[in-house]
Structure 1
Amino acid sequence: MSLLTNVMDHSLDDGYAEAAARKKAEGERGLPKTLRAKLGLAAGLVLAALVVTVGAAQARVAAPVVAKEREELIDRIDRETEAADRLEKSVDNLRAEVSARQREAIGHGGSSDRSELVGILSGATPVHGPGVKLVVDDAKGSGAGGEGDPRSASGFSDTGRVRDRDMQRVVNGLWESGAEAVSINGQRLTALSAIRAAGDAILVDNRPLVPPYTVLAVGDGRNLSYRFQNSADGLYLHALQENYGIRTGLSVEDDLRLPAAPSVIVRTAQPISETEKGTS
């Protein structure tokens, strides 16, 4: 019974009672909890203000440096741009000089009439005269990646778009029908011109063209138109129009003006020696 009575009278350990008494005594001697909380908040605010102040001071110190670097970068860009403009102008001048020398070299090839003919056929000189104007355009509503019946065994499916091989046949058909000079979208064609494709774009001498494609051909206008329409390439173009919706328009013109080719490559031939004949 004495054990039970002791437990009832001393339900908490003496250590807990001592700790509680000590904590109470410290609280009475120290600051109140609310005051300690306010002091902690004030200290935090002061620290935050100090950080912001230091950051602003550093930004003010760094601002002139950043502005100076920006001005130097702008000045450098301006200088490089001016240098690039000067180089581009120099390139244009050199191209013009090369073209002039090429035309001069062609002109020294013989008599004036023969030199003029060579310049026309080579594309080195601009020409004007009667001829035909042929406009070839994609079908209405055509788009890249369309599906349809294959136009040929080449693997391309019909999309209603004009292909590079179509323009090749058109140009070759005009040459064969008697054209003396041909241009596409203002770009003069020569014997070395290439019509190729890059994706769905048509390139003439590596320059992209945008439909509609306007082909100008100088020659005997009416005869040139008649011969082309009745040639195999003219009938091919007509088939594209009938079967795939390619839009075309051919007209006879009294005066067409074609520019000179931007660059003409001058090549010379050398006679074959007897030794080379024997080894060939």
Structure 2
Amino acid sequence: MTGTPGDGRGRGDRVYAPDFLTELFRNPLDPGYADAAARRRERRDPPSGWRHWSARSVALLVAVALGFLFAVAYRETLEAEPGRSQARSGLVEQIKQRESDTDRLSVRADELRAEVARQREAALGGSEAARLRALEAGTGLGRVRGDGVVVRLADAPQKADAVTGTDVGPSRVIYSDLQGVANDLWAAGAEAIAVNGQRLTATSTIRSAGQAILVDFRPVTGPYEVSAIGPGSMRERYEGSRSALTMRKVAEDTGLSFGVREAEEITLPAAAEPRLRYAEPSVSPTASPSGAERSGPSGSRTSPSPSGGGR
């Protein structure tokens, strides 16, 4: 389109309408869609002041709820504390009562054992009584006295962690340590051994139950003393044993206490009477399937034992 002479433009100036394709690429979305999207955002998003008030309200409600729960838990804890304290006191009292009963029965058992020994010696006579005392001393059923060695083991002192500052568990003496000490003392020539006063016999056991150590099913607590009666060379022979070398190395690394000393006139108590079980050959209710029989020592006909002679 060309201008007229009176419009103030020169003949060479020309004005073009906007290019449709250029405008389409610049603004592909119709203005009506943009206005509708803006109106939806305004309806969906509340004002900033409303959002701030809602966040504070939610935080306040959460704080009130937590405070209420803590108050209820604290009140229930205070109400239940007397019951727990009473139950704990009752358990402690029962434990003390059971320990007292056990000690009393142990003393009574020792008295009865001594009375039985006196009656037995009176019935047997001099030589037989002396032989019986020697057998009891060798098997652990009689009290013995003599010179020997005492091996002492104790847990390491409790320490605090260098990073957290909390107490960490000490290095503890375990049942296998006592087993190794006892076995090597036997190998060094010990004639009688006791662990914290518990005499060891051929049927004795040293084991653990949780964190407790049991000797013949009786608990022993640290420090642990393994007392042994034997020849004068027993300490020197034990010092070179595997358990002594191992425990000294453990003591250097962890702080666990380990020591060996000679002792004079050690008295080791007698062990409790063992409950022995005897094997008996089984007797077949019927004859053997083959019907075979054999002659006994007296010429009588007997059936063979199905267990191979009862062994």
For this structure pair, what is the TM-score category when the shorter chain's length is used for normalisation? 0.5 to 0.7
Q: 1:133 to 1:95 in 2, by over 3 A?
A: closer
- CA gap of 1:197–1:237, structure 2 versus 1, over 3 A, is same
**Structure-2 residue corresponding to 1:237:** 247
- For 1:91 and 1:166, locate their aligned partners in 2 and report how far apart those are by CA, in whole Å: 28
- Is 1:116 aligned to 2:133, yes or no? yes
Q: Give the unaligned 5+ runs of structure 1.
A: 1-84, 147-157
Name the CA distance, whole Å, in 1 between partners of 2:156 and 2:105: 43
Alignment partner of 1:265 out of 265, 270, 274: 274
Partner residue in 2 for 1:197: 208
Matched, 1:181 2:154: no
Equivalent residue in structure 1 for 2:261, among 228, 251, 254: 251
Residues 129 and 95 of structure 1, relative CA distance in 2, 3 Å threshold: closer
Q: Distance in 2 between matches of 1:201 and 1:266?
A: 24
Match in the other structure for 1:19: none
* TM-score, structure 1 normalization: 0.52
Letter in 1 for 2:147: P
Q: Does 1:126 align with 2:126?
A: no
Please give the residue correspondences for 1:32-111 in structure 2 after superposition, counting only pairs within 5 Å.
Answer: 93=108, 96-97=111-112, 101=116, 104=120, 111=128
Deviation at 1:173, TM superposition (A): 1.1
2:153 pairs, out of 128, 132, 136, with 136
The superposition leaves residues 42-99 of structure 1 with CA deviations (integer Å, 9 ceiling, x where unpaired) of xxxxxxxxxxxxxxxxxxxxxxxxxxxxxxxxxxxxxxxxxxx99x978964675367
Aligned-partner Cα distance in 1 for 2:184–2:152: 14
Seq. identity, %: 33
Matched residue SS, 2:142: coil
Q: Which has the higher helix share?
A: 1
Task: Give, in angstroms, the shift of residue 260 of structure 1.
Answer: 1.4
- Find the counterpart in structure 2 of residue 169 from structure 1: 180
Residues 177-206 of structure 1 deviation map (CA, whole Å, 9 limit, x = unaligned): 111111122222222222111222211122
Provide closer, same or farther for how the CA distance between residues 127 and 251 of structure 1 changes in structure 2, counting only shifts above 3 A. Answer: same
1:130 and 1:219 in contact (8 A); partners too: yes
Q: Deviation digits for residues 81-131 of structure 1, max 9, x if unmatched?
A: xxxx99x978964675367548949x97x8445422321122211111000
Structure 2 CA distance for partners of 1:277 and 1:97, relative to 1, 3 Å? farther
Distance 1:216 1:254 in 2: 11
Q: Which amino acid aligns with 2:236?
A: Y
Shift >6 Å, 4+ stretches: 88-92, 268-274
Using the alignment, how far apart are the partners of 1:120 and 1:181 within structure 2? 8
**Aligned residue for 2:20?**
none
1:160 to 159, 165, 171: 171
- Larger deviation, residues 93-102 vs 244-253: 93-102
Is 1:142–1:160's contact at 8 Å kept on the other side of the alignment?
Answer: no
Q: Is the 8 A contact 2:182 2:193 kept in 1?
A: yes
Matched AA of 1:199:
G
Preserved contact between residue 157 and residue 170 of structure 2 (Cα < 8 Å): no
